């Protein structure tokens, strides 16, 4: 449950920043690169998360350089790499020794498992969370500047490339460590769900958003673990379902709010 809370808050925080920066597809690609790395780790009998981390960091660095140098749409580059890494992941699964879909380790990488959460692993996640928060506290003004307007920040002499690169590298770490809990195919919901729920809640301050999103991520992850334990279901799926429930509820709330605001206008129009 501690691992779920830490991973959920990390994903919530990272997902919000990435969404605000408009780098959603880049992180989508990083997640698939991490998955390809993890499956390669299985083929080579090396720690999957370590290989996933290397893949994620390399692709994050490569994409951030291409993004600034080539000046072509980020989404196009990202999606090209996404296909490549999905193909690699499937290829490595095919090459995994033994009955691939049945192996315990492979199912951990694909769907996530609470059993994979050792004390040592939880310590790594906690260190990552502390490092992430420390970076944000130290460089909050620069991060906020980039979040508000990237071009203006660059025009005012800020090294926007280093801020973007750091956030992408931190996201690579977050995605890689999340693989064991949620699995490679389900990490996106826990990554972007809290950001969407936060936007739906109409939080009117960036600092409050930065607190709300990790909180939603942590709460949904804990809820998912409890449901998984009670009903004896895969933990990754339960976390994602609990996250989707919260997203659906907040979306409904926002929809009602929008309709209520629009109602007087419709009446007047008639």
Partner 1 sequence: MSYSMFSMFKVPPIALNREYAVELCNVSTTYFGSRTPAIRNVNLRIRYGEFILITGPNGAGKTTLLETILGLLTPSSGTVKVFGHDVSKRAKLIRRYCSYVPQDFMKEPYEVFTVYEVIKQGLVTCHYRPKDVDKEIREVSKLLGIEDLLTRPIGSLSGGQQQRVFIARALIRRPYLLLLDEPFSNLDRDSRTELAEVLSKLCTDSGTTIVMVSHDLSTIPRACTRVVSMINGSIVSISEVK
Residues that bind partner 1 (CB under 8 A): 71-72, 141-142, 144-145, 148, 151-159, 199, 203-206, 209
Cα distance between residue 15 and residue 191, in whole Å: 5
Answer yes or no: are the C-beta atoms of 220 and 193 closer than 8 Å: yes
Closest CA to 159 of 70, 24, 76, 64: 64
User: CA angle at residue 26 from 22 to 31, to 5 degrees?
Assistant: 130
**Closest CB to partner 1 among residues 47, 159:** 159
* Contact assessment for residue 164 and residue 146, using Cβ atoms and an 8 Å cutoff: yes
- Report the residue number, 145 or 174, with the smaller CB distance to partner 1: 145
Give every CB contact of residue 225 below 8 A, 6+ residues apart in sequence. 1, 4, 114, 235, 238, 239
* Alpha-helical regions (H) of the chain: 2-21, 24-44, 48-70, 74-95, 104-111, 119-138, 140-148, 150-155, 160-182, 187-200, 206-231, 235-269
What is the nearest approach in angstroms of partner 1 to the Cβ of residue 251?
A: 15
**For residues 203 and 222, which CB has a smaller minimum distance to partner 1 in the complex?**
203
Query: How far is the CA of 177 from the CAs of 26, 50, 88, 97, 164, in angstroms?
Result: 17, 9, 20, 24, 20
Q: Name the residue nearer to partner 1 (CB basis): 71 or 260.
A: 71
Task: Judge whether 10 and 163 are in contact, CB under 8 Å.
Answer: no
* Between 72 and 248, CB nearer to partner 1: 72
| Shortest Cβ 206–partner 1 spacing (Å) | 6
* Nearest-angstrom CA–CA distance, 144 and 237: 33
- Give 157 or 264: the residue with its C-beta nearer to partner 1: 157
Least Å distance, CB 148 to partner 1, is: 5
Return the number of the residue (80 or 202) whose C-beta is nearest partner 1: 202
Tell me how far, at minimum, the Cβ of 88 lies from partner 1, in Å: 30
**Nearest-approach distance from CB 205 to partner 1, in angstroms:** 6
Q: In angstroms, give the least distance from the CB of 156 to partner 1.
A: 5
Output the smallest distance, CB 222 to partner 1, in A.
Answer: 27
Closest contact distance (angstroms) between CB of 234 and partner 1 is 36
- Nearer Cβ to partner 1, position 39 or 212? 212
The number of CA neighbours under 13 Å toward the Cβ of 135 is 20
């Amino acid at each position: 449950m501690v691992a779920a809370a830490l991973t959920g808050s990390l994903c919530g925080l990272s997902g919000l920043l990435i969404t605000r920066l408009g780098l959603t597809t880049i992180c989508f690609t990083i997640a698939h690169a991490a998955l390809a790395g993890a499956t390669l780790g299985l083929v080579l009998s090396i720690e999957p998360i370590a290989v996933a981390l290397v893949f994620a960091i390399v692709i994050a660095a490569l994409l951030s350089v291409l993004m600034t140098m080539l000046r072509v749409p980020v989404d196009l580059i990202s999606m090209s790499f996404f296909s490549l890494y999905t193909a690699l992941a499937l290829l490595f699964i095919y090459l995994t020794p033994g009955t691939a879909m049945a192996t315990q380790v492979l199912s951990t990488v694909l769907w996530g498992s609470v059993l994979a959460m050792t004390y040592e692993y939880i310590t790594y996640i906690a260190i990552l969370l502390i490092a992430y928060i420390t970076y944000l506290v130290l460089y909050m003004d620069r991060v906020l500047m980039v979040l508000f307007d990237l071009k203006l920040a660059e025009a005012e002499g800020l090294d926007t490339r280093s801020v973007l690169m750091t956030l992408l590298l931190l996201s690579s770490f977050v995605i890689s460590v999340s693989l064991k809990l949620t699995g490679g195919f389900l990490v996106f919901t826990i990554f972007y769900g809290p950001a969407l729920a936060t936007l739906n809640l109409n939080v009117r301050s960036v600092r409050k958003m930065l607190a709300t999103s990790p909180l939603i991520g942590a709460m949904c992850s804990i809820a998912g673990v409890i449901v998984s334990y009670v009903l004896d279901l895969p933990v990754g799926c339960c976390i994602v379902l609990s996250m989707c429930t919260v997203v659906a509820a907040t979306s409904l709330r926002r929809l009602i709010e929008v309709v209520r605001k629009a109602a007087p206008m419709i009446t007047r129009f008639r």
